[in-house]
Amino acid sequence: MLQQIAFIIITAITFGYAGKQFLKIRRNILLGKDDDTPLDSGQSWKNMFLIAFGQKKMFKRWIPAVFHLFIYVAFLFTQIELIEIMIDGIFGQHRFFASYLGGLYTMIINSIEILSLLAFIATVVFLSRRNLLKIPRFQMSEMTGWPTLDGNLILIGELLLLLGIFSMNGADKVLQGIDPAHYPSTGPLAVSSWLGPALFGGLETGTLQIIERMGWWLHILVVFAFINYLPKSKHLHIMFAFPNTFYANQNSRGEMENMPEIMNEVKSMMGLTEDTGEMPPEDELPVFGSKDVMDLSWKNILAAYTCTECGRCTSVCPANLTGKKLSPRKVMMDIRDRAEEIGEKLDSGDLQYVKEELKAEAKTLTKDNFDDGKSLFDYITREELHACTTCNACVEACPVLINPLDPILKMRRYEILTESAGPGDWLPMFNSIENGGAVWQLPDEREQWAKDAVAKANEA
């Protein structure tokens, strides 16, 4: 009974605290603007099942994909045993499903053990890739400090989970032969049937019971720790990959978001619309692009929280490969960090973060009146933005359909169209487009050659 009470209290605290953290993440994602881009629901479901659930894009690099698959499938199957642990913990049972499922139960536990063994191998491989082989994409500047520690902590947690599973099953297998009334038979197990007797065969019953309980508690406590660690980790992608792939942009990758205000202005310049000569009032002039996360769409922020920090985007970025400062992975990490920073300041309720012109009337701090004097440009440098060639290599490489190019373009649009800034060697091009309708500085109008051709034809 004492164990049941302790389990229920720990479970309630775990899910209560985790729930608060996930609600904060939801609030941070909704800092972004609404996005009414139309989506085909059939394609959305297809993307989610093939790419998020089916891991389709992972297999463009098949070696890490196979090892990742071991951990992924083991994670899915282990949820069955986790459900049983939850039932046992709440109701004081032991292997609740064993008596109901019979041979099917043996098959399920065997599957979990085999997959857990494969997951152990994969975990050792991934730890080696990060810390011994030092794969270049895991050694870049944005991965120093917490990102590297984060990846290692999860892999170490995976090893602890496996230790819990095999010590629990191994000791339980020995106890089945000693006290079958309290330890129902699981049937022959692929790993524990030989590992249990080999490790624990000569121990006393009381010691075996302690080992079995320690394995049981180790497994569930690591799971509970993982649930609360998840909101602070890049491994949030195990949840957010599903909505991110579902809501991913379905347009052609070469198609960029149109800006109606600019399109109408260009049409007016080219004589395709009637120019009334009227200018909109100064207070109605639109702000182009994005300066901060509130100017991005909620989908951009969701993508930032979905980022797995795998670095596939950066490893194929031609700008990065030629030594330029741009790293698409860092851009997504910076957006997430900025959203987290704003969220923490909103939670503080400190009115010092209210926009200066609204301080006299503000009673509470909200995303609409928030201004801490910082922006995404304090995280992402203009040099990084200018280096992007808009080639879409990063978009193609991402295994969960994140589009780093979209926020890069939005920030460049803000810089160029709202701030009237930009690289010095771009400005002549913009002036030429504005004055002559072409990117080149021509002495004549862009259409002059056509007019000359028509004139010559008429003379002939």
Where residue 153 falls among pLDDT bands split at 50, 70, 90? very high
Tokens of 424: 């010095």
Average pLDDT for residues 320-332, to the nearest whole number? 96
| Separation CA 394–CA 211 (nearest Å) | 48
Q: Is the pLDDT of residue 21 over 90?
A: yes
**pLDDT for the residue numbered 3:** 87
Are 323 and 436 contained in the same domain? no
Are 112 and 93 contained in the same domain? yes
Task: Tell me the CA distances in angstroms from 428 to 140, 423, 435, 437, 439, one per residue in order.
Answer: 35, 10, 10, 12, 8
Are 419 and 444 contained in the same domain? no
Where residue 1 falls among pLDDT bands split at 50, 70, 90? confident
**pLDDT for the residue numbered 90:** 93
Are 108 and 203 contained in the same domain? yes
Average pLDDT for residues 87-107, to the nearest whole number? 91
Are 327 and 410 contained in the same domain? yes
Q: Identify the CA nearest to 411 among candidates 319, 338, 340.
A: 338
Query: Could you report the per-residue pLDDT of 216-259, keeping only the tens digit for each?
Result: 999 999 999 999 999 999 999 999 999 999 999 998 887 887 77
Residue 116, burial from CB neighbour count under 10 angstroms (0-12, 13-18, 19+): buried
If one compares 451 and 19, the residue with the highest pLDDT of the two is 19
Listed range (77-86, 160-169, 212-221, 446-455) with the worst mean pLDDT = 446-455
Q: What mean pLDDT, rounded, does the chain reach? A: 90
Q: Is the pLDDT of residue 379 over 60?
A: yes
**pLDDT for the residue numbered 255:** 81
Are 398 and 449 contained in the same domain? no
Where residue 26 falls among pLDDT bands split at 50, 70, 90? very high
Q: Is residue 282 part of a domain?
A: no
Residue 240, burial from CB neighbour count under 10 angstroms (0-12, 13-18, 19+): buried
Where residue 54 falls among pLDDT bands split at 50, 70, 90? very high
CATH code assigned at 307: 1.10.1060
Mark which of 200, 235, 270 sits at the end of a domain.
235
Are 374 and 449 contained in the same domain? no
- For the chain, what percent of residues have pLDDT higher than 70? 95
C-beta neighbour count of 107 within 10 angstroms? 12
**pLDDT for the residue numbered 429:** 81
Are 9 and 158 contained in the same domain? yes
Containing structural domain, residue 330: 287-423
Average pLDDT for residues 126-132, to the nearest whole number? 94
- What's the distance, Cα to Cα, between the start and end of the chain in Å? 105
Q: Is residue 77 part of a domain?
A: yes
Q: Is residue 366 part of a domain?
A: yes
**pLDDT for the residue numbered 270:** 65
**pLDDT for the residue numbered 386:** 94
Q: Is residue 203 part of a domain?
A: yes
Q: Identify the CA nearest to 146 among candidates 333, 346, 279, 277.
A: 333
Q: Is residue 253 part of a domain?
A: no
* Structural domain total, the chain: 3
Are 207 and 306 contained in the same domain? no
**pLDDT for the residue numbered 216:** 95
**pLDDT for the residue numbered 276:** 52
- For the chain, what percent of residues have pLDDT higher than 90? 74
Query: Could you report the per-residue pLDDT of 55-67, keeping only the tens digit for each?
Result: 999 999 999 999 9
Beta bridge mates, 297? 33
| Separation CA 183–CA 166 (nearest Å) | 16
Q: Is the pLDDT of residue 353 over 70?
A: yes
Where residue 361 falls among pLDDT bands split at 50, 70, 90? confident
**pLDDT for the residue numbered 443:** 66
Are 93 and 166 contained in the same domain? yes
Are 417 and 455 contained in the same domain? no
Average pLDDT for residues 364-385, to the nearest whole number? 95
| Separation CA 181–CA 13 (nearest Å) | 33
Cα torsion angle, 315, 317, 322, 324, sign:
negative
C-beta neighbour count of 204 within 10 angstroms? 9
Query: Could you report the per-residue pLDDT of 393-452, keeping only the tens digit for each?
Result: 999 999 999 999 999 999 999 998 888 888 878 878 877 877 777 777 766 666 777 888
Q: Is residue 248 part of a domain?
A: no
Mark which of 217, 235, 253 sits at the end of a domain.
235
Listed range (129-133, 178-182, 334-338) with the worst mean pLDDT = 178-182
**pLDDT for the residue numbered 107:** 94
Query: Could you report the per-residue pLDDT of 269-324, keeping only the tens digit for each?
Result: 666 765 555 555 555 567 789 999 999 999 999 999 999 999 999 999 999 999 99
Are 318 and 455 contained in the same domain? no
Where residue 344 falls among pLDDT bands split at 50, 70, 90? very high
Q: Is the pLDDT of residue 205 over 70?
A: yes
Listed range (153-157, 195-199, 259-263, 423-427) with the worst mean pLDDT = 259-263
